[in-house]
Structure 1
Amino acid sequence: MAGVLQSCNLAPKEEETPTVKADTINQINFFLETSASMGGYLSGGTAFKDIVSEFANKLSQIEPVRKPLAIYTISQEAQPYEGGVDRFVTSLATVPLANARSSELHSIFKQVGEKARNGNVAILVSDCILSFPDEDIKKNPQINVTDASSVLKNEINRQFAMLSKDTINATVYAYSSAFNGTYYDYQNKKQKLNGEQRPFYIWIIGKQRVLNLFNQKLQASLTTKPDKQLSFGGGSTITDYNLFFTLNRQGENWNADGQRITNLKGVRADRPAEFSIGLNLSGLPSYAQTEAYLTKNLTVMAGNAGVKLLTIQPKDKVDAKATEKLKTNESRMLSESTHILTFKVTQLFENQTPVTVKLPVRYDTWYLDQSTMDDRTAAGREGKTFALQHLMNGVRDAYETGSGSDKSFINLTITLEQ
């Protein structure tokens, strides 16, 4: 076997940064609910028409997407909309699209969810009012109040549980718009509204990696940002990180070795060690990536050792001067990270101390304030959607498998050694 000779005078070749191929979306499927309850959003000059038009236009421009944007209207069964984006946008202003029978949301979500498979993204625009069919309400006018928390919630849960099993996640954007037309309360009684502000929602559903890519591209392009936002799912718990040797380093002699910090014998309060790790949080819901959420919810446990989380920085806020000193390998590690966490060690009592860093799953609950169980008066429905809490809780439960309190977005272990 021939040997390989290498001159000891040659510096080792620097590691090249790998090229990461971006995920490609197969197709974007856009659904507009057209039951009669949606008609008031399409009458007159409304924010709804502006926002839906912008969505349709921006969706047609997102790249890379293999197939053209597919548009559907839906109340009972989804109907392909022929004519493309330009005609659809014009129809929002000139054609009474929302004139179909009342719809059942669990049936709609089933059809929309089927279009979110195989690298596709499915989007639904709806007022998201949970309701039994007309004939059931005629028999029992209180059925929407008495059975929304059981029957309707569980129907929604069933649809999203099937999606969750296939790692298909969901993001919901909440908006508000003037409503000019007939509003149907939970007893199906008609009320004429003239400019009353009503919430509506845009759901985005797709496989985890495809959905993350899509949301990033969409949010960067939107002029009108949502009033509220919530993501369901998020994939597997993050357990990997990059441990830096140079970045934000303080203290002498310690070494970085994989997932361990070694040679910390001399550490003490007046001679601390500081080190940083890099995390890629791009797979988390967008709200869970914010500095505010991380600062409030990230926990660090190190027994009786003196370990403190000093800073949480999005990568773009890291001091440029600090990055100039990085070797090629650490520059690559930084490029792979979205956030940098810096820790301070002031005392160690054991030869080996595990430090656990956790970010528990906490879903935002803004929807509770936006839900009502009596929408028969303007005061009762102001800025609220009937039974929204039961819809959202049904979806949330589908993604909270096992004990919700034990689920974590992040669960890391860093070993400190003297």
Structure 2
Amino acid sequence: MSVFLEYSGGMRGFVPRGGADKPATEFQRRIGALLTETQVSGAVANRKYYLCENAAPRAVQFAQLRDVVQGEVNQAALGTELPQMLEGILSMPQAPQQVSVVISDFIYGPARKSDFSQLPNLIRTSIAPVSQQQLAVAVFGETSKFYGTYHPAVKTPMAKRTLNGEKVPYYVWVIGPPALVARYSAEVFKNAPVQQAFFGLKTTTPAFAPVLTKLTDVKLKPSGSVYGEGNGLTLNVSDDPVDFTVGVNLKELPAAWQQPAFLAQHLQVRLPNGQASLVPNSVRPLTEDEQSGQPVLAPYTHVLRLRVSKLASPTATLSVALPAPETPEWVAAWSTSNDNTPASRTFGLDQILAGVRQSYPTPLAPVFTVQLPIKKD
């Protein structure tokens, strides 16, 4: 995998030289921790590090990149326009086969002002490998105190101004094969910010099965006439609905997507020729004690309860899917058409991510789908 840090005049204010009396900026703390985790994590192999300046990305050692984040560099480059920067990163050898982590403020200030009107199209063209190679893009948004010269996209009434600790946004993009992006987001990007957007993310089919016996928690035991038969179930719903617990391994999902509230809101349960649903407030992660103390639960990270209240045909297939969420609401809140006055918003962020979203078909493919054969008793 490769990490790319844009180091232009517009980024330098995130990384002032610190000291005992000068606390690190949020950028320095967060990105310093991310670089360290990337360097030491067993989930990452073949690490490479680059600075994105006013030419092609320049390879540097881990220690050099860490020094830049700590503020131990005197001169920043002029910078590269956003579409060209992304195009340069994704045109590098092996880019479609690996994870590329891009750290930048993603401010787009083209030399040709007419390019502003084509922002989504320019982004879509620059990340062509995303659609051609069916790659995923994860976007994480954060703010940090900024000390130095701020270069807005909108140059009037001031082409630049000096900031002294005002907070402005920066972003981390993770681009690559969907399963690798999912793993990096879940295992390496510790304590990721709340502002997250994922495009084209898919995982391998997770371990998934009904759990009916050898359970010590009475709340997990089935209710109604149901028994297991291989990987499927046989049940009788002629009088009352049947509730049962299933285990699922969601370790490949980003941490935010493993939260019960997110799963309860987004999981879709379908049963052709029948009626099935997710029991309210039933999605929860398993504790280590539950996994170790009940071997039947060991393969899973989460449990949830399913309810079958109607089954018209002798056999059917129940499915549980996680649809890919569309562009989240925070993107609009963090977008502006005039960034001349610094704020926690980025010029044209919604247009930038519109270009990303347009690189994928409509509707987006599900993140995963699991299935369970059912027979009518």
Q: TM-score range by the shorter chain?
A: 0.7 to 0.9
Mapped partners of 2:371, 2:291: distance in 1: 29
Match of 2:71 in 1: 93
Tell whether 2:331 aligns with 1:367: yes
Q: Is the deviation greater in 234-243 or in 286-295?
A: 234-243
Given candidates 15, 18, 24, the residue that maps to 1:42 is 15
User: Could you tell me the TM-score, scaled by structure 2's length?
Assistant: 0.80
Deviation at 1:350, TM superposition (A): 4.9
Q: 1:63 aligns with which of 42, 66, 70?
A: 42
- After TM superposition, the structure 1 = structure 2 runs for residues 93-172 of structure 1, keeping only pairs within 5 Å, are 93-98=71-76, 100-113=77-90, 114=92, 117=95, 120-133=98-111, 136-137=112-113, 143=114, 145=116, 147=117, 151-172=118-139
Shift of 1:202: 1.6
Q: What are the residue-to-residue correspondences of 1:346-361 with 2, within 5 Å?
A: 346=309, 348=311, 350-352=313-315, 354-361=317-324
Change (3 A) 1:302 1:319: farther
- 1:110, 1:316 → 2: CA distance? 42
Question: Aligned AA for 2:353?
Answer: M
Alignment size in residue pairs: 358
Give the RMSD, CA atoms, in angstroms.
3.3
- 1:212/1:408 CA distance change after superposition, 3 Å: closer
Against the structure 1 CA distance between its residues 368 and 258, is the aligned structure 2 distance closer, same or farther, given a 3 Å change threshold?
farther
SS at match of 1:60: helix
Q: What SS is found at the alignment partner of 1:408?
A: coil
CA distance in 1, matches of 2:375, 2:274: 10
User: In the alignment, which residue of structure 2 is the partner of 1:264?
Assistant: 236
Partner of 2:301: 338
TM-score, normalised via structure 1 length: 0.73
| Residue among 387, 391, 403 paired with 2:352 | 391
What is the aligned-residue identity percentage?
Answer: 23
Deviations 1:303-356 (A, max 9, x none): 7856442254344249839963x6xxxx3xx44333322223455555445544
Structure 1 counterpart of 2:179, one-letter code: R
1:376 to 340, 347, 350: 340
| Alignment gaps of 5+ in structure 1 | 1-27, 138-142
| Inter-partner Cα distance in structure 2 for 1:64 and 1:348 | 43
**2:345, 2:246 → 1: CA distance?**
43
Q: In structure 2, how many angstroms separate the alpha carbons of the residues matched to 1:80 and 1:322?
A: 45
State how far apart, in whole Å, the 1-side matches of 2:26 and 2:93 are.
27
Deviation track 1:36-75 (CA, whole Å, cap 9, x = no partner) reads 2223223365332333333333322122554354333433
In the TM superposition, what is the alpha-carbon distance from 1:237 to its structure 2 partner? 8.3
Distance 2:223 2:45 in 1: 52
Residue 161 of structure 2 aligns with which residue? 191
Describe the SS at the equivalent of 1:219: coil
Structure 2 gaps, min length 5: none
SS class of match (1:254): strand
Shift of 1:395: 1.2
Question: Once the 2 structures are TM-superposed, how far is the Cα of residue 93 of structure 1 from its aligned partner?
Answer: 2.0
Larger CA Rg, structure 1 vs 2: 1
- 1:5 maps to none
Q: What is the CA-CA distance between 1:175 and the residue it aligns to?
A: 1.7
In the alignment, residue 250 of structure 1 is paired with which amino acid?
Answer: P
Contact 1:234 1:283 in 2 (8 A): no
| 2:6 corresponding residue in structure 1 | 33
- CA 1:55 to 1:323, structure 2 compared with 1: closer, same or farther past 3 Å? closer
Cα 1:185–1:168 change in 2 (3 A) is same
The structure that is helix-richer by fraction is 1
Q: Aligned match of 2:222 in 242, 246, 250? A: 250
Question: 1 CA distance for matches of 2:289 and 2:45?
Answer: 39
Distance in 2 of aligned mates of 1:42 and 1:183: 13
* Residues 335 and 348 in structure 2, CA contact (< 8 A), matched pair in contact too: yes
Query: How far off its partner does 1:30 sit?
Result: 2.0
